[in-house]
Structure 1
């Protein structure tokens, strides 16, 4: 066990991601020889900043504070999933989130490119292709291990102490850390996937996204339960590498996103061969003699019950923050009664000297770049070199479904709710990427939409792009929107031709005009 104790007067403690003190004493019991169960040799160390959580936000905060001259330690731990899956330093994004997701999405895109290649003159040896899950899995795993190692090297180079253990509050000025041996106990900052306890067989037989990327064999026939972006993204790349994939959605998909775009996404996914079991929820799961997973489910409207057989069932029904083990009540840190996330304003919790960043914050985006930026800014404020606060407005993001969806700002429905329909103008267009022309690929869902506020010189308050490389397209426009770009400024920008991104600056048709928004040429 490690105990972190204040030596002098405490100025600040930061919870979940870090504790900030004028001076901290860590007393560590490290077994070096055997003289009974509790034998140890102790050492002491002093830190200006202790980070709990080795994910994107925690690492960014720790490295920034170290760069600014502070003595920093990271306390990091991960609980294995119910199936024993664990991983290395770097948090959810690196190990079981953004990075493996994007790499497997790329694998699916390459499969489509193989089909397209013949139309571009490539003489390929076979008309059918087989995908090796093991090769993909091992390639992704090896790349992630290189990132894990790189983070450890960065911490060493910045003289940040790394403590592989779980931190728990003893009081608002004291924590303990239980050390573990090996590399299997590294925390992912923020939250973990939720697998319901009230569905018989769910925890025994279903997996989460934490398990998906390291399965021993190809996933086979897969049922994904959930309607959020993790469900749709995983379904997309699994289908793209040849898995028979279904999505079970109790309600609407991608609830917080623009529903015009969502309808086009799901329509495209169905055309790509992904099945949607709509308005349904699972009742129970069991294993068959053939080692299949039998899922009984019911339609929430009709009550009709059905049964399906699958090789794998994955839950993607939300994530729970990893706050339970922190013992926050002793530090008077309040959490939201439903989400169990930490309540904070400008990252400051209900205890004046305790802060939090990243996915554990109630009401904030669960996005890696958000945690990274917030962590850096907070470190600078605590080191008294800046007063800049994190701006959570107009956060750009992309959903890596087979047809990618990038957006920044608010949806059309939210704009009408905030500013009234008569004060909103929408400019939109359906387009066909040039890459699809020779292949004669049928794709009616490539679409771009700009939501503008009439009373503010048609300032763009929502930009939505559905098509190839959506993240690359939206990133640049995100900067423009942070600067308050208007519709007139966008359409007076010269486009790069021929690209998909130029479809944004070519927007000329308003929804109010009633004209057909289909692009017919240059």
Structure 2
């Protein structure tokens, strides 16, 4: 969906490069949705085939614990299957949550799980939430030319660097996404013509307001899929507030032979790649004579908003809290990607920030990159941070011209200096 939206921007840029493109370029949601769904189905089929090739028994059943070594699985038709094992791994993930206190939310709203399976365009859409899921969904809907509003109760991208988060929302605003800040939904009502009337409160003024939408998408967080597992039968302990499973450094639960990985585990990043690596390392410890543990520090990630935000390591706020303002040096730059030049795109939110310890050799604590292909850029520099790279070593790295990643190796201006961080030719 993100790629489809980016392609729309490239089509609009094409005439700058000499391409004659019919305007306006029209987007066919149905055709895109069919292609995306076929891709997902092919992935699922491929996994089934590979499991079979590796002689892994696959049961398409919903399971719950009978005791600490046994689960009971129930198929769609009601048939029950008992499975016992020496080791059990819980990797049930999470599901998007609905605001149960908002009237009409469940009856008339959808979640991020549903948006990818809609056969028809969602039309004018209200996205409620401020997480990366909320911003990504609102971003690609706007990019596809849909009238999109994002309602945020508080700050965007909580837990991420807040300067970068502000730049992300600035870019989205300048490219057509409407923001309702400091607002909370009160109710959703279906009108006779099928449209949805949403009422909300502005928390600052206490004033209520309404608008009409075709679709309301809830992206207010996720809940772990633990409630139906009968974990108490196995003696597995959960955090009573979050309902996530308590685990140790070996991914073991309160029952030593039962493990939990991914979103369902307490204190783990809600990201797929760390869960995959944690599972692989767990398998190697159980059956491959390994003792290697998953390292959850410096996990890189990217928020796929229209202008992508990649990060690894500490945010500026976290670095200051951990080490103190006087021990931190931040190098930064506003830059213009090559792709933005001929097309004369606004690059005012394209920004890089490197957070370091101030004491030489200035070990890197975090890197934050806002711009095209942020995931590709961040992936490469994540290795350096994992290896304990310093600012001095980055400055000794030759950049690849004319890439955006090259700008990381050219960061010379510190925030402390107060100098203009805009990249120039000299």
CA offsets per residue over residues 417-460 of structure 1, 9 Å max, x none? 00000000000000001111111111200000000012462101
- Deviation, 1:396, is 0.1
- Deviation, 1:179, is 1.9
Q: Which residue of 2 aligns with 1:302?
A: 205
Greater mean alpha carbon deviation, residues 202-211 or residues 456-465: 456-465
Q: For 1:138 and 1:416, how far apart are their aligned partners in 2?
A: 47
CA offsets per residue over residues 311-332 of structure 1, 9 Å max, x none? 0000000000000011111222
Q: For 2:230 and 2:391, how far apart are their aligned partners in 1?
A: 50
Q: Which residue of 1 aligns with 2:16?
A: 119
* Corresponding pairs, count: 414
Secondary structure in structure 1 of the residue aligned to 2:220: coil
Q: Indicate if the aligned counterparts of 2:336 and 2:350 stay in contact, CA closer than 8 A.
A: yes
Q: Which residue of 1 aligns with 2:312?
A: 408
Q: Which residue of 1 aligns with 2:247?
A: 344
Structure 1 unmatched ranges of 5 or more: 1-103
Q: 1:491 aligns with which of 378, 381, 395?
A: 395
Q: Indicate if the aligned counterparts of 1:282 and 1:297 stay in contact, CA closer than 8 A.
A: yes
Determine whether 1:221 maps to 2:221: no
- Aligned-pair Cα RMSD in Å: 1.3
Mark the structure with the bigger radius of gyration: 1
Q: For 2:318 and 2:185, how far apart are their aligned partners in 1?
A: 31
Map 1:241-320 onto structure 2 (within 5 A). 241-320=144-223
Determine whether 1:195 maps to 2:92: no
Map 1:15-26 onto structure 2 (within 5 A). none
Q: Which residue of 1 aligns with 2:70?
A: 174
Q: For 1:425 and 1:173, how far apart are their aligned partners in 2?
A: 52
CA offsets per residue over residues 83-126 of structure 1, 9 Å max, x none? xxxxxxxxxxxxxxxxxxxxx101001000011110001112x2
- Deviation, 1:188, is 8.3
- Deviation, 1:181, is 5.3
- Deviation, 1:342, is 0.5
CA offsets per residue over residues 2-26 of structure 1, 9 Å max, x none? xxxxxxxxxxxxxxxxxxxxxxxxx
Map 1:89-488 onto structure 2 (within 5 A). 104-124=1-21, 126-180=22-76, 189-346=92-249, 347-455=251-359, 457-488=361-392
CA offsets per residue over residues 244-297 of structure 1, 9 Å max, x none? 000000000001000110111000000000000000000011100111011000
Q: Indicate if the aligned counterparts of 2:300 and 2:310 stay in contact, CA closer than 8 A.
A: yes
Q: For 1:116 and 1:366, how far apart are their aligned partners in 2?
A: 35
Secondary structure in structure 2 of the residue aligned to 1:270: helix
Q: For 1:406 and 1:227, how far apart are their aligned partners in 2?
A: 17
Secondary structure in structure 2 of the residue aligned to 1:112: helix
